[in-house]
Structures are given as C-alpha cells and as structure tokens.
Structure 1
Amino acid sequence: MSNQPNATSAFNHKKYRAFPPLKKVNRQWPDKLIEHAPLWCSVDLRDGNQALMEPMNIEQKLIMFKLLVDIGFKEIEVGFPSASAPDFNFVRQLIEQSLIPDDVTIQVLVQARETLIARTFESLKGVKKAIVHLYNSTSLAQREQVFKKSKQEIKKIATQGAHWLNSYAAKQPKTQWQFQYSPESFTGTEMSYAIEVIDAVTAIWQTEAHAKQVLVTQLPVIINLPATVEMSTPNIYADQVETICEQIARRDRIIVSLHTHNDRGCGVAAAELGVMAGADRIEGTLLGNGERTGNMDIVTMAMNLYSQGIDPKLNLSNTDKIINVVEQCTQLAVHPRHPYVGELVFAAFSGSHQDAINKCLSVDDSKRKDDPNAHWNVAYLPIDPKDLGRDYQQVIRINSQSGKGGVAYILDQHYQLKLPRWLQIDFSQHVQHLSETFASEISPIQIIELFTRVYLETNKKISRYDISRRNNQEELTVAFTPRSGAKDITISGKGNGILSAFVHGLCHYYKKSIILVDYTEHTLGQDENAKAIAYVQVSIEGQRFCGVGENTDVIHASMIAILNAISDDI
C-alpha cells in the first residue's frame, strides 16, 4: 500500500503554486561579487522584540542597545514608539539620558497614519539625529483581501504619510532627519506598482519638498524592500531588487535597503544576492531572532563576508558575550549548530576530520611564523576559531558504539550523569590523555574517578546565601570559601536570575569579565532526597572553563559549579 498522501489529505501540495519569476533577460547580479560590507541596521529592539513570548523590559533593552553599540552598529531601530508606552518610554530614556553615541542614529517605525506619526515625532523631541521609517502594505493580497482598496488608494496612503513626515519634521529643525519608506510585503507586490509607489514617495521627500523650500533633510532617502514573508528562491528576490535599482527615479540619491525574513530558510542567501543586485544596506537581527522562522541573521552574513577577506565593519570577536546577552534578553537558546557561533561548530567528532584538521593546523602554524597574515586554509574549518574567541575542539568517538571513547554513554548508563555536549568535549580531552597514559582500554570506574577528580573534588564551599527581589531583579549575597584553608569571602550581586546575580558579584569581586556561557542541571535519582547536579561553562576574559556542582539544593549546586569552573588564581 502506498504511503503517499492523496489529493484530499491534509498534506496537499496542490493548493500551492510556484512563485512566478520575473521576465528579466539582462540580469547583472550573477556576475557581481560583494567587495565591501553593506550599511547595517539592527532591528533587534523592534522586530526581534515583538517576536518574543515575553518582550524585553527596559533594562534588557538597554543591555541589548549597549551591546549593539559595542559591536559597531551605526543605525539601530529602537522601537515603534506610537504603538506602545514601553517603546515610547524607551526612546525617551535614550534621548533624555544621553545614551545615544554621537556616531549612532536611532531609527523608529511608524505606519502612515497622522496620529501615529505625531506621536512618533513627540517621542523624538530633542534627539540629535534619527531615521523615521514609514511603511504601508502594497502587496496584491493585502490590497484585495485585507484593506480592500485600489492601487490608487494604497498609493495615496503612502504619499500622504510622506507629506506628514515632512510637516512634522519641519517643526523640529534642530534634529538631523532621515526618512525611510517600506512598501511592506514588497515581494508580493507587482514590480511596476512598487516602483510607482516608491517614486511617488521619493518625489515628495526630494523633488516637491525642494521646490517648496521645505526640504527637512539633505540626507539620501532610504527605500527598504522587505521580504516580509519569504515567498521565493533567493535568485527571484535578487531579480526584484535589481529591477528596483535599475528603474526607480533618483537612484543616485537613494539608499536601497533590504529586510529579509527566513520563512524558507534562505534569509541570509537572499540578502547576499540582494547586495549583489545593487542594495546598499541590510536590516536584520543578531542570530536571526524574529517572527516565525526569524529575521535575517546579521552575525551569519557579517561572518560570511569576514570569511571572504572582507571587513564586516562589526566587531564579533567576543561571541561568548554576544550569545550571553542575546540569550539573557530574548530568553531564547542559541542552537549548538548555529553558523559560526554555535557550541559545536568548531568541534570535530570524526577521526578522519580530526586528522586532517591537525595536519592543516600544523602547516598553518608554520606558515604564520613567517607571515602573520598568511591566508587561512585549514580543512573543515572555514575560519580560525580564535578569531571568535573559541578553540578547535576534537572529540574522540563520543558515542554509544565507541570503544575507549564512549564517555558520555558510560557516564549516563552507569552513573546517571547526563553531560551536555560542551562538557563532553571538555572531559573527552582528559579521558583521551588518561587512555594514552595507560595505552589500554579504561573502565567505567576509572572514568568516574577521573570525572570526580577533575570537576567535583574541590575544597570550595558555600557557607550561606541570601536572596531577595527588588525592581524585577534578583539580589544575592553569598559567603563562600574559595579554596582549602582560605577565609570566607562575601560577595553581593544582582541580575535577572540568581546565577546571573552570582556571576555579577564574582565579576565585581575579582575585577574580571566572567560570563555564564551555558548551564544545565538534573537530579540524581527519583526520591525526594535525591541530589541535584549542575553543569556550567563560563568564559573568563575570553577563555572557557567548565565546572560541576552537586548538592541537595539545586541553587547551591549551581553556585558550586560556577566556583569549580573558576581557577584558584583567577
């Protein structure tokens, strides 16, 4: 009997059709190369934030904003101030507390409605410079099924919005304004109509305004082409972008921007091909957080450029900090196979891969002694992990079928220890050293003794800890013994959780950058007296360390694990 679904089943491909390609005979983009980084605009605080089950609070937004500034973003979309009080208040806080560096321009989003535009400009009073991002939907489906309006009526919404931006911006002449327009759902809009609407908007912001001597900005207009929903293969999107770049009026005074989503898993590819097709600017989020399957991942695209010898104009060298802040603010875990930054992307499990990598690294080390800028050419490693604060890690046969290396399987089956992957990687190096020392198979007893010796047999103790909560933050005081014979140390910290507060206190005490990279815990046994075991990975000044803690109290176990990860001479 066939397992293929019939036409009447729920899984029915016949209700879909192929996205129609453009009839373009002289496309230029396939022969183009990306030779420099585009302008970047982070939309983590808008698109990224609205996609969260629990949107960021003000403090988390400030942490994210600071990270984006530190990375090097010069344009940051900070919210939709006319849509919610939290967004409005956040914009006001950035302005009133002078938190926006002089070389950074904030961007705000607004629909083409006068009440919302008025509220938006109210939120921006006193800002030195800002991009006001106006949008309305132009796609066939939105026009006919959502708004039930004609092409002329939809265009009128856009042009009226453009007039309102001119009017309200003119009332705040001390601000350096820049305008941006998005024909939302651009990829579902007929190209001739998209060009008609874009030209009508830019005429108001450039030609008409200049003629009436009410031009409020000398900066180029930004025309953003959003793949609000990714509907086609990336080559068709590139055709759409190239068509716009070739046919819109006043192209020399326009910055063409792209805003791709990842519904088909091709958000980065579409953005890269779009730049090849003539786009100047990219909007996206760190690590791709966004609605549905996400926004375009700026980290991935920037590192793709970096791997081709192009300066991405963003500093992504401290990936541990980036991941820590993103996970803390979004409460979303980064996948271990995430390009460039995932926990396992620089780990080789296969023996043949390890052999090739080790041989290539030996050659690379030799070359680099003579030429520090020698081109990277190492099998299986597209970039040097050290550029991102990482190391190449080899894992010898960590699986249930292995001989001397089935470490994770043995610890799980014999001792109920469920090691996370990153701890498997760390511990396997100790196991490998032990097995090579004995030059023979090592037993489960030898493995657990080694694990205990490396991670659990420490003299660090926690005497007491007190937890309180204030202003939506945990406040923690902990007294602990750092090593045998030492006096107790008392530290205090605060954070979004107990462990982040503990790490905050340790950072302050040791005057070091300590980041909690990863954490997991489980119980040992099923009864009420079962102990909890916690596994942590921390980054200290860019170097990673692992620790394990065990106690009947999971908080106690977790803090011990962090202390065990920190060396005595930190």
Structure 2
Amino acid sequence: MSRKIWVFDTTLRDGEQVPGAKLNLNEKLEVAQQLKKLNVDIIEAGFSASSAGDFNAVKEIAEKVGNTDDIFITALARAVKADIDAVYHSVKYAQNPLIHIVLGTSDVHVEKKFRKSKSEILNIGVDAVKYAKTLLPNVQYSTEDASRADFEYLWATIEAVVKAGATIINVPDTCGYAEPEEFGELISKINDRLKNVNDHVLLSVHCHNDLGMATANTLAAIKSGADKVECTINGIGERAGNASLEEVVMSLNTRSDAYHAYTNINTKEIMNTSRIISNLMGLEVQVNKAITGENAFAHSSGIHQDGLLKSREAYEIINPIEVGLEDMELVLTARSGRHAVKNALQKLSFDSLTDTHFEGIFEAFLELADAKKEVYNHDLYVIVENYFAKHDNLNQNMTHYSDHFFELIDLQVISNTHFPSASVKVKKGDELLEGSSGGSGPIDALYSTIAEISELDLTLIEYNISSVSRGKEALGKVKIQVEYRGEKYMAKATDTDIMKASAFAFINAINSIIVDHFLQNSNRAHFTTNNG
C-alpha cells in the first residue's frame, strides 16, 4: 500500500547558509510563496534567534504564507530557552506553527563540541522539549549527527524526548557520513522501536551530500520506514549541500514500484521553483544535475536523438512536462543526425522537402554546426532559404526569412557610475539598424538598446552568467529568460567577450520570438516586428 511522505523544505534555513546566498525579506517571501505553490508540507523559514532580520522574515512568512491550514511553518532553535522563545514568537502567527529543536548526539558533538556528559546533553534536550510543549503542540527534535552516534545513546535520547512531548523525531546525517545500506538499517531499527513507544510520532531524516549520497540515503530511509524527509531545492545547503527535493520526489514518482510512497508535491512547479531560487540566490545549477540541470532533458547525440524520436522510452524515464518544462530538448549540434534535423525542419513546417532537398540542406547544416556550438531554429530558416536561392528554386511565394531575423554587427558598452550606456549596430536582412541608450547598468543599457531597435516590448526575467573555460581566452556563458506578450523564452550564448555573449543571447531570444510568430502566422511573408 502506498503511504504519504511529508516534505520538509529547508531551503530558507539550511540552503541560505551557503556563502553568498543571503536573501532579503522580500526575496524570502517570494521563495516561501513559491514553496507553498510547490505544495511542500513544512517550510523551515529560518533561524529566528540568529538576527533581527531573520526573526522578522520568519514572522512575515508565518503571517503571509502560513495563513492557511495546508502548510506548517517552522524555524530552527538550539536547545536553549532564548532560541525556543524566538522561534515561538516568530512562527506563532501561522495557522500551523512548529518549533524545531536541534541538539547533538554523537560522541564528537557531546564530548568535543559541548564538552558535557551524555546524561547532561540528554537532560538538556528533554527540558527543551518540555518547555517548547508549553508554547506549541507541535515540536520537532533533531538528533544532530545521529549517523555517527552510539545507537543505544541515540535511542535513549529519542525515547526520552518523545515521552517529553516531541511529535517529530528527525535523524540527521549531518556530515554526509552514512552510506545507504547502513543508514537504512539505522532508520529501520529506530522505526521499529519508535512505533512501539508512540506510533503517532513522525520519523524524519535530514541527509547531507558530503560523499554524494544524500538522495540515496534519503530514499533508503523511506524504504526503511521514514515518514518525512528534509530537503532543499537544487540540493543547496552547507558544504556539499542537502538531499535534493526534486530528486527525492521524482524518484518516488518514477519508481513507485520500489518505494510504494508518494508526496503531495506539485511536480509541475519544480522547474519554476528551481529557477526562482537559483536566480535570487545567485547559485547556478550545474548543467548535468538530475531533474533541474539545463541538460537534464536535453539530447545532442545523434544516436540518442534518433532513439527518442522513434520511442521516447528509449532514453527518457521522466516526461519533462511532469516537472514544468514544455518538452524534451533536441539540441542541434554537429553530432546531431539526419533524423533530428528532419524532425526540427518538420516542426518549422518544412515537411514537403524531397530527399535531394533535404540532403543539400543537411550538408549546409553540418557546415554551420561545425562553425558554431549550437544551431537554432532561426538558423534553419536561413539555411533553407539559402539552399533554395543557391539552386535557383526559390518559390516566389516563399518568405525571405533572413529579412526578419536580427544579427549583431557591432556594439560599444560604457560602464560608469554616472550614465551607463550602450550603442549597438545590428543587421536585419539587408537593412543596417543602429541605436543607443542608457540604463541602470551596462547590461540594462545594452538590452534596452537592442529592444528599442527590434521594436519588441520585452521584459528580462532572468540573467545568468558563468565561465565555461579557463585562461585568458575563457568563454563566458550567458543564459537569459525574457517575456513577450505573456510567453517566456529562454536563450543562451557564449563568447570570450561577456558583453557580446549577452547581446548574442538577447538577439537569440528575439529571433526565437520571430520564429514563434512565423509558426503562428499563416501568411508568413507579411510578418513584421512592428505589428507582431
């Protein structure tokens, strides 16, 4: 029988402990609202006693996000009265408030961190739970570094705090030390004993990724009886991070035959949540990361593309739509085969090409693909046009596609504290267009200028920059998301000049919009950027 697994998200507490990931109040509220949309069961909103700012953020989240009975709001407290008071006074505004207490249980923590005896630490924990229970009915107790603790002492602690009133017992693999078989056995032993003491108490796990096994350990714990999992979006967190929420959830969904468990997570909000958090925290997701990485559903190998086009089951175990993407992405590169290129052309309505036509177009595609990393849809339009023009077979009713696409010719960007500005020269067909404008910064000035030249009313939603190589000739990669008439478009580009990469990415987005309108407009020859 399938059982529900509670999802406790600690992105705003453990995740925010990543150096440089600090969020302001409005950003924390935005993340919390999105986590609610994702349908997590519990949000750990912060560490209330750490600062006035954190206290106020937890309080705001409790009031504005925890104002319905479908979600719990909590914050972390050490096993001291002042911390517990801070959590209580910040979360009490939620409809379902929860106090979360943490205290070490391993010999390393007890003897070297706290420098007290085991009995003293146990009594401190019990007293903390008893005090918290006078404030709120729901109290979680985390046995920090449980995976390295003496089992009988760990169990004695759990038994004592449950009898003191703890409603959730959390077993952390704080240093990512455990391995799946070992951690699963630990959870199984605790679960057997815990259910005999109080079968209403939830058994939870919190796994770190120091050895790359956080998700595996979390899933092993679920198989062994864990009721609740603590995770973060994109697996962010202290050191190597935490168990990744999206990996755990999609593993349960995809392999329900193995885990016989489910969550209430709205999986279609996974990608949106990932992007919001990545953007606000400035923490880029590694491209090959499971589920939320840029390449997680992208295929460039000709063999894979051919297999996917014949049967998606050949190389796809998760439908991208399930996690909030439009569909799988077949990236056209020099490694792509005929099947993938023909499929891309058919999607652009070039579905009546003869074999001779296609072979000529494919040859031109390979030439372009060898010259650049990736071939885009607007490139395919131009390849088709050039092929027919070269062979004197250009149908008079056929659109001159190149007349509508933009190409960067030159740019100059000035960055200063008084008036950042940009001058840009682009080509549209045979027409040379120029413009200049200022902005709040160099990128804003650059994008304002290009948008003005294109006469498209675009909104930049996301801008990410990263390095993809080293040395003096290092390539910078820019990835952006823009919105046009309610539709969102992703684009990217690389160059040794970051400003050029930024401009290329923005122009790629504009050309994607134009492609979209080609496909929507049956009379393509009359498409103009003035009237859309």
Confirm or deny a common fold (TM above 0.5): yes
- CA separation of 1:450 and 1:320: change in aligned 2, threshold 3 A: farther
Matched, 1:382 2:317: yes
- CA separation of 1:68 and 1:439: change in aligned 2, threshold 3 A: farther
Structure 1 match to 2:371: 410
Kindly provide the CA deviation profile for residues 332-373 of structure 1, in whole angstroms up to 9, marking residues without a partner as x: 111111112222222323322222211114xxxxxxxxxxxx
Identity of aligned residues (%): 24
- Contact preservation (8 Å) 1:186, 1:227: yes
Matched, 1:184 2:157: no
Matched, 1:118 2:98: no
Kindly provide the CA deviation profile for residues 259-296 of structure 1, in whole angstroms up to 9, marking residues without a partner as x: 11111111111111101100101111011001111100
- Contact preservation (8 Å) 1:482, 1:563: no
Kindly provide the CA deviation profile for residues 450-493 of structure 1, in whole angstroms up to 9, marking residues without a partner as x: 8995655448876534428xxxxx99995876677x6x97xxxx
Helix, strand or coil for the counterpart of 1:464?
Answer: strand
Matched AA of 1:410:
A
> C-alpha separation between the residues in 2 aligned to 1:538 and 1:481?
11
Q: Cα RMSD (Å) of the superposition?
A: 4.2
> C-alpha separation between the residues in 1 aligned to 2:271 and 2:384?
27
- CA separation of 1:352 and 1:185: change in aligned 2, threshold 3 A: same
Matched AA of 1:204:
A
> C-alpha separation between the residues in 1 aligned to 2:300 and 2:504?
30
Q: Which runs of 5+ in 1 are unaligned?
A: 1-32, 170-175, 207-220, 362-377, 412-418, 441-448, 469-473, 490-505, 508-513, 527-531
Matched, 1:194 2:154: yes
Give the C-alpha shift of residue 105 in structure 1.
1.2
> C-alpha separation between the residues in 2 aligned to 1:437 and 1:312?
54
> C-alpha separation between the residues in 2 aligned to 1:552 and 1:461?
20
> C-alpha separation between the residues in 2 aligned to 1:548 and 1:452?
20
Give the C-alpha shift of residue 96 in structure 1.
5.0
Helix, strand or coil for the counterpart of 2:170?
Answer: strand
Matched, 1:291 2:251: no
Structure 2 match to 1:342: 293
> C-alpha separation between the residues in 2 aligned to 1:383 and 1:432?
33
Kindly provide the CA deviation profile for residues 177-228 of structure 1, in whole angstroms up to 9, marking residues without a partner as x: 311001100101111111101111111117xxxxxxxxxxxxxx10000110
- CA separation of 1:57 and 1:379: change in aligned 2, threshold 3 A: same
Give the C-alpha shift of residue 547 in structure 1.
7.1
Matched AA of 2:316:
L
Give the C-alpha shift of residue 141 in structure 1.
1.3
Which of 24, 36, 59 matches 1:69?
Answer: 36
Structure 1 match to 2:73: 106
Q: Taking structure 1 as the reference length, what is the TM-score of the superposition?
A: 0.67
- Contact preservation (8 Å) 2:77, 2:99: yes
Q: Does 65-74 or 117-126 show the bigger shift?
A: 117-126
Question: How does 1:107-186 map onto structure 2 within 5 Å?
Answer: 107-167=74-134, 169=135, 177-186=137-146
Q: Taking structure 2 as the reference length, what is the TM-score of the superposition?
A: 0.72
Helix, strand or coil for the counterpart of 1:52?
Answer: coil
> C-alpha separation between the residues in 2 aligned to 1:430 and 1:194?
66
> C-alpha separation between the residues in 2 aligned to 1:475 and 1:160?
59
Matched, 1:392 2:337: no
Matched, 1:314 2:268: no
Structure 1 match to 2:172: 226
Give the C-alpha shift of residue 78 in structure 1.
0.4
Helix, strand or coil for the counterpart of 1:134?
Answer: strand
> C-alpha separation between the residues in 2 aligned to 1:316 and 1:563?
30
Matched, 1:47 2:14: yes
Matched, 1:356 2:307: yes
Kindly provide the CA deviation profile for residues 112-166 of structure 1, in whole angstroms up to 9, marking residues without a partner as x: 1122222332323443321101111010111222222222111111111112212
> C-alpha separation between the residues in 2 aligned to 1:549 and 1:190?
52
Count of residue correspondences: 446
Matched, 1:330 2:281: yes
Helix, strand or coil for the counterpart of 1:263?
Answer: coil
Structure 1 match to 2:524: none
Matched AA of 1:263:
D
Which of 180, 185, 208 matches 1:239?
Answer: 185
- CA separation of 1:241 and 1:322: change in aligned 2, threshold 3 A: same
